[in-house]
A = this chain, B = another copy of it.
Amino acid sequence: MADVAARAGVSVPLVSIVMRDVAGASPENRARVRRAAEELGYRPDSRARLLRRSRSQLIGVVFGVQHAFHGDLVSGLYPAAEALGYELTLSAVTPHRDERRAVAGLLQDRCEALILLGPELPTSSLGQLAATMPVVVLARSVRHRDVDVVRTDDAAGLHQAVDHLVGLGHRRIAHIDGGRAPGAAERRSGYLTALAGHGLADADLILSGGLTEDDGAGAARALLDLRPLPTAVTVFNDRAATGVLDVLRQNGLAVPGDISVTGYDDSRLARLSHVALTTIRQDAAALTHAAVARVVSRLDHETVDVREQVLAPELIIRQTTGPLTTAAVTAPRGGRPDTPAGRRRSTQ
């Protein structure tokens, strides 16, 4: 910086003023400084900058490196933060790097606030963190007075899925749940209350699943043993739903002819033309905007009336749900078939 100042024939603070694009420099000097900086390949050191300003303008983000939907959320967080004059610093959760370590890394970077994507940390840990700095939990529900939450109304999402299926004529609707994953409890209860609303309270059928393709596949195999076979299944998320789809089709069931399937997230996965999964959209852009806005409100010490922001989900109807076909309703199924569709055989 001193080099730039010398080359431009001005003082160091003036260089600072020019580089930050703030008022207080003549157009001539501005141009001179810019040129000198260019020639010297000078780049401001953000660390030193942030060190000097007491505020770091840095938001830490913890995300799962394997989560497709987290990818969508990170994509949305960048522009949302930029719009409000903040930067993001990312910390990944991997199979060998848990959330604690991811958070610890961010704290060392002196970020002013944390946005956690679907964290699995216990509420108490989140509360401890939130005592130190603003913490916004994205895509999970947490009941703690210090922790802000931005999430989709998961119960309503499953309600919509069930309503849609009932509207198509389905009565035996199963749910493959997400186990202990964030949001799983809400989705389960949404499923149950929706069934009850349609007078199907006794027909509930919950299989234990999870959030990976394999979890979905495993649950689907369990589902195939049920008699009578459900005619529709709502799955915890898109990822698990693709596992379900694969297993159903490999076992000779047509989707949606024999059985309808819904996912959750409207992730990239669901939108693929060959998957075309009916699903519940979580609006990544709205979620991320709300999360960053909340962080900034907290940092600006604005009073916040509601701790939890719950966004409405949206049903996206694609091609994995449809009306019952006669065949599916009447065809008796004597057991789990090996080659249910003629020459087709399972690859499992």
Q: Tell me the A residues contacting B by CB distance below 8 Å.
A: 41, 43-48, 50-51, 56, 65-66, 68, 71, 74-75, 78-79, 87, 89-92, 94-97, 105, 107-110, 132, 212-214, 217-218, 243, 246-247, 249-250, 252, 254-257, 268-269, 272-276, 319-320, 327, 341-345, 347-348
Contact = CB atoms under 8 A, between A and B. Distances in A.
A51 B1 CA distance: 14
B254 A344 contact: yes
Copies of this protein in the assembly total 2
B109 A47 contact: yes
Name the residue in A65, A109, A243, A246 with the highest tally of chain B Cβ atoms < 10 Å from its Cβ.
Answer: A65
B246 A275 contact: yes
A338 to B, nearest CB: 12
A347 B110 contact: no
A344 B217 contact: no
Contact of A90 (B91, B257, B276, B319): B91
A252 B269 CA distance: 22
B109 A46 contact: yes
Given A51-B47, A108-B44, A110-B45, A342 B345 contact: no
A19 B245 CA distance: 53
